[in-house]
């Protein structure tokens, strides 16, 4: 193995350049060779640290797909270890593999249909240089970690499953394992980036049927420039698919970003987002596809910019749908409002009230664009939202229809009811939304349409003088729960 020495001359030394040079020489000397302990497998790319991969200029020359696949296969055959990547760009132009999952350019081998704690192995995909996971490139194409550049396009696999991935494990439709089972590989991704073409028809990392995964210092991106509205048209294209139902282990994301896909991340059971995770310019930031995807914890910061939906369900055939199954959320969003070049994040779609838990969010206003940034929701009767800018427990819910039934998210918050026609706001029964006694529901008339407060079946709303209507535009009132199905309506801007 080559020996590399770094000395610091009197004129100074660019340490990063020297270290990269050292690692390049080291990898060149050990490419394709296992480490002394038989558990380290080196991958040396063709292009080094200086290369450009854009829509107009794809990488030319030898394909690196097979050498990456061979290193992963050797790692699995050795019962786990580390696949070490040299920093720089890799040409991943190989066809989708059909001998394993049939869904990945670089496929994780299948290891038994019924994994147990005693037969799991760890495969660590590693580059010593972080993938600059939250650095905007804005046209500056730095290597930044090991960048796997996929040339796949026009993929149309269907059958209720996702399109092929660049790196992925088995799917629920393959014959090697049955639905509900997982291949017993714990995957750790560190310092690895995946880059796909704009308007992708592939998935970056698909770990849906891997027993466990941990992603850190990574990115999954397209060649689309920053500063555009979401433009991916294929519901099958996802940045990251986390392990799905019934694995009952902790899966984690620490410091990364996803940009330019239909869904940024499809989360699964027991997913924790630890460090800063940026989700930019996807149609859906966080998507759920299965029936039991509970315990999604967020923090310290989930940065969401220019996504049409913050949380929604995903149907791989038709796109956005309501959140399915049980979803328990706990965390903090950092929502970027509209600026001069970012479109606003807008909506949580949960018509069937499957989301529960609490989400705090901040609205970071920047640039010169309009300060819209009002988060809207469909359903979400069981979800507590807190807008930090409005104070503890506060959330501004802007409604524009002629009928509205108060939701769980309205507790201790403010609902604006705006329409040119008359509006009916209904207080739900305790069996529908079990607000605790003492809950306050604040509202005001935002437009010309007068607001009338009504009671659902079994509910009593008491008010002074029988006043249940707003007196005019900007009139304010609030409801306070005093018993299981009894409320009091207060406010000086009310009339009969």
Per-residue pLDDT reduced to its tens digit, 236-267 = 889 998 887 666 678 899 888 899 999 999 88
Q: Which stretch of DSSP H or E encloses residue 313?
A: strand 309-315
Q: Does residue 472 or residue 328 have the better pLDDT?
A: 472
pLDDT higher than 60, residue 365: no
The answer, yes or no, to whether residue 127 has pLDDT greater than 60, is: yes
> Taking the domains of the chain in order of start, what are their residue ranges?
32-392, 395-496
Q: Which two three-digit tokens encode residue 480?
A: 């306070």
The class level of CATH for 395-496 reads: mainly beta
Give the per-residue pLDDT at 35: 38
Query: What is this structure's pTM?
Result: 0.74
Q: How far is CA 64 from the centre of its chain?
A: 28
Rounded-to-integer distance, Cα 106 and Cα 162, Å: 15
* Beta-bridge partners for 287: 266, 312
DSSP structural state of residue 409: G
Measure the CA–CA gap between 339 and 301, rounded to whole angstroms.
20
The b/e string for 448-468 (b: 16+ C-beta within 10 A; e otherwise) is ebbbebebbeebebebeeebb
**CATH 1.20.1070 given to domain 32-392:** no
Closest CA to 87 of 14, 6, 142, 32: 142
**Confidence (pLDDT) at 284:** 92
pLDDT at 268: 80
Q: What's the rounded Cα separation, in Å, for the pair 234 and 376?
A: 24
pLDDT of residue 250: 82
50: exposed, middle or buried (Cβ count in 10 Å: 0-12, 13-18, 19+): exposed
pLDDT tens across 375-429, in order?
677 878 778 777 666 665 566 778 889 999 998 778 767 899 999 999 999 999 9
pLDDT at residue 102, as a whole number? 59
Query: What gap in Å lies between CA 451 and CA 475, rounded to an integer?
Result: 9
Nearest to 328 by CA among 261, 270, 379: 270
Helices (H), 31-95: 65-77
As a whole number, mean pLDDT of residues 220-230 equals 76
The confidence band for 15, taking pLDDT boundaries of 50, 70 and 90, is very low
pLDDT tens track for 23-78:
444 444 444 333 334 455 666 554 433 333 333 334 455 788 888 888 888 888 88
DSSP 388: G
Q: Which of 11-20, 290-299, 420-429 has the highest mean pLDDT?
A: 420-429
For residue 269, give both structure tokens.
């059971």
Cα dihedral 243, 290, 156, 148 in deg (nearest 10): -20
What is the C-alpha separation between 479 and 59, in angstroms, rounded? 63
Element (H, E) at 16: helix 15-30
pLDDT in tens, 166-217: 998 765 454 444 545 677 788 999 999 998 888 888 899 988 888 889 999 8
């Amino acid at each position: 193995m080559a020996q590399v020495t770094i000395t610091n001359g009197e004129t100074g030394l660019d340490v990063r350049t020297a270290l990269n040079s050292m690692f390049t020489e080291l990898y060149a000397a050990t490419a394709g060779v296992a480490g002394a302990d038989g558990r380290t497998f080196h991958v040396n790319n063709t292009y080094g640290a200086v290369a450009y991969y854009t829509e107009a200029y794809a990488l030319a020359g030898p394909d690196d797909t097979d050498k990456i696949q061979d290193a992963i296969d050797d790692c699995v055959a050795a019962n786990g270890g580390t696949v070490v990547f040299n920093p720089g760009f890799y040409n991943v132009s190989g066809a989708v593999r059909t001998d394993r999952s049939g869904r990945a350019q670089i496929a994780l081998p299948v290891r038994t249909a019924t994994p147990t704690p005693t037969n799991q192995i760890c495969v660590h995909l590693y580059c010593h240089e972080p993938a600059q996971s939250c650095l905007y490139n804005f046209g500056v194409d730095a290597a930044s970690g090991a960048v796997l550049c996929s040339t796949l396009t026009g993929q149309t696999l269907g059958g209720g499953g996702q399109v092929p991935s660049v790196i992925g494990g088995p799917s629920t439709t393959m014959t090697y394992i049955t639905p509900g089972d997982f291949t017993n590989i714990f995957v750790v991704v560190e310092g690895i980036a995946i880059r796909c073409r704009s308007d992708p028809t592939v998935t970056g990392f698909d770990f849906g049927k891997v027993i466990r995964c941990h992603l850190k210092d990574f990115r999954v991106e397209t060649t689309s420039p920053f500063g555009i509205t979401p433009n991916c048209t294929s519901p099958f294209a996802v940045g990251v698919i986390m392990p799905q139902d019934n694995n009952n282990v902790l899966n984690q994301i620490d410091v990364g970003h996803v940009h330019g896909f239909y869904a940024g991340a499809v989360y699964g059971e027991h997913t924790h987002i630890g460090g800063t995770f940026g989700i930019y310019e996807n149609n859906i930031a966080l998507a759920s596809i299965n029936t039991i995807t509970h315990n999604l914890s967020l923090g310290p910061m989930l940065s969401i910019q220019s996504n049409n939906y913050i949380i929604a369900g995903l149907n791989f055939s038709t796109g956005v749908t309501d959140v399915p199954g049980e979803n328990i959320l706990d965390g903090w969003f950092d929502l970027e409002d509209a600026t001069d070049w970012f479109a606003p994040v807008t909506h949580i779609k949960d018509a069937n009230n499957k989301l529960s838990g609490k989400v705090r969010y901040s609205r970071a206003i920047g640039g010169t664009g309009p300060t819209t940034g009002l988060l809207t929701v469909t359903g979400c009767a069981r979800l507590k939202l807190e807008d930090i800018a409005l104070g503890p427990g506060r959330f501004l819910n802007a409604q524009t229809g002629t009928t509205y039934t108060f939701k769980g998210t309205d507790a201790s918050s403010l609902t604006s009811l705006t329409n040119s026609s008359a509006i009916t706001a209904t207080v739900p029964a305790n069996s529908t939304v079990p607000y605790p006694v003492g809950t306050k529901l604040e509202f005001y008339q935002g437009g010309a349409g007068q607001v009338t407060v009504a009671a659902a079946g079994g509910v009593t709303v008491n008010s002074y003088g029988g006043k249940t209507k707003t007196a005019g535009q900007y009139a304010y009132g609030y409801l306070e729960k005093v018993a299981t199905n009894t409320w009091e309506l207060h406010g000086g801007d009310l009339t009969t």
